Amino acid sequence: MYEELLDAWRKETASTDLQPLPGDFYRRLNSFMRRLREEEKLADKEGIQGRLLAKILEVSVRLTENLCYLRLTKIIDASIRGAIEWDKLTEDEKPFVKEASKIFEEYNRMVRRIVEGRYTPVEAIFRAGGLKLVRFKSDTPSFVGVDLKVYGPFKAEDVAYIPEENAIQLVKQGIAIDVEVTE
């Protein structure tokens, strides 16, 4: 695993583009680091094996931290540009990148709305909280949102902020309509 870590670090430092890693790279690296730490604890600290294990651990820590920082920098840059190359991410990176991408998409949306002269600060407050404005097409009984809060009941034509995930489902089901906030 040490050679794979070193190879991944070399490739990442040599390129401005994010380099592909196997999906399970971090999980295997975690096992390697755990095993290395256990072996180092058991080894004679004064002996050649103990000193060698300590040095390998020290270098492995630096390589891992630097590799992760390089990848994070590249991932953030790609997220800002909306150009994530999902096939180059590990399985452990994907959930973080998915969340980060949402933030950058929202930020870019805010910039577009400002440029168009259609932005309202209240919109940002509710979007940041994961809420979406909808208009109900028909009477709707109260429901528990994904945030475990109770919403409703609503009458036809009522407008309300509800959790975005619930809003998406209600729109798909034809119960509500997305409402764009304008000044």
- The pLDDT score that the predictor gives to residue 138 is 93
Quickly tell me which residue has 């920098």 as its tokens: 73
pTM of the model: 0.60
Number of H helices, E strands in the chain: 6, 5
Residue-wise pLDDT for 43-74, tens only, equals 888 888 888 888 999 999 999 999 999 999 99
| Cα separation, 44 vs 150, whole angstroms | 61
Quickly tell me which residue has 């050649």 as its tokens: 48
CB-based contact 127:180 (threshold 8 Å): no
Residue-wise pLDDT for 13-48, tens only, equals 999 999 999 989 999 999 999 999 988 888 888 888
- The pLDDT score that the predictor gives to residue 16 is 92
- The pLDDT score that the predictor gives to residue 153 is 94
Helix H or strand E segment including 170: helix 164-172
Residue-wise pLDDT for 109-143, tens only, equals 788 888 988 776 665 655 556 788 899 999 999 99
Query: Domains of the chain by range and CATH?
Result: 2-107 (1.20.58.1030), 121-178 (3.40.5.50)
